[in-house]
Amino acid sequence: MSEFVGALVGASMPLIMEVKRATAGGTDLLRGRSIADVVAAYRDAGAACMSVVTGRWFGGTPAMLRDVSRAAGVPVLQKDFVTRESHLAQARDLGAAAVLLTAQLLPAPVLRRLIRQSLRFGLTPFVEVISEREIDAVVHPDECVIAVNNKDIQRRERGPATVDRSLALLPAVRATGTPCPVSASGIDRPETAARLLAAGYAGLLVGTALLRADTPAAWIREPDRLRRPARAIP
């Protein structure tokens, strides 16, 4: 089991807390804080893992990955559009433990190749899906995180989220044998997070809601509701 997967499935509160400069619409999410300030707040709130958005749509840069990886103290996911092996080498060199592979944007043969290459680089493939067809394209699922995106990347994630997609696809994700099904994006309330964990998700990726809260700890205002039910541990 990889470091990233182990940290997530072993956590009682399995949240991947995301560092992101701006929304896809350009709204500033740091609000005067430094990257170091956000990382420190996530550590204080008990993040199991962290994610950093280095994609330019969201004001990101590769240097953010280096800075977050150095300060996080937990495994870090790079969220960007990884399309070739050189991206994987850069992610590894900047400290990532996992990389985002977006099935919606990658032809199935390319997705399979990148999964295998990620594993050779010692990176956990964090494969983002929105359909059963995309789930079926994942190779080595026992070594991957399979994450259902609740938003539409084709619309630059500007549309509304639907966690119903996560709930509908969970059986198909679990059937792959992945140790770590994740629901990602659009999780706006602790009550929604608790519902997804109770359904059987092993982890959740939460970004904008935490960054808009007074503090991450304030968003997790009812910690017991965000504890993983015992039956959800793979």
Task: Tell me the pLDDT tens digit for each residue of 184-232.
Answer: 998 999 999 999 999 999 999 999 999 999 899 989 875 455 666 654 4
Distance in angstroms (rounded) separating the CA atoms of residues 154 and 152: 5
**Whole-number average pLDDT of the chain:** 91
Distance in angstroms (rounded) separating the CA atoms of residues 203 and 141: 16
pLDDT in the model for residue 26: 87
Domains of the chain, each with CATH number or no CATH: 3-225 (3.20.20.70)
| CA distances to 48, 79, 221 from 53, in Å | 17, 5, 25
pTM: 0.92
The string of pLDDT tens digits covering residues 145-164 is: 999 999 877 555 555 668 99
Are 140 and 173 spatial neighbours (Cβ–Cβ below 8 Å)?
A: no
Dihedral, 229, 123, 127, 218 alpha carbons, nearest 10: 50
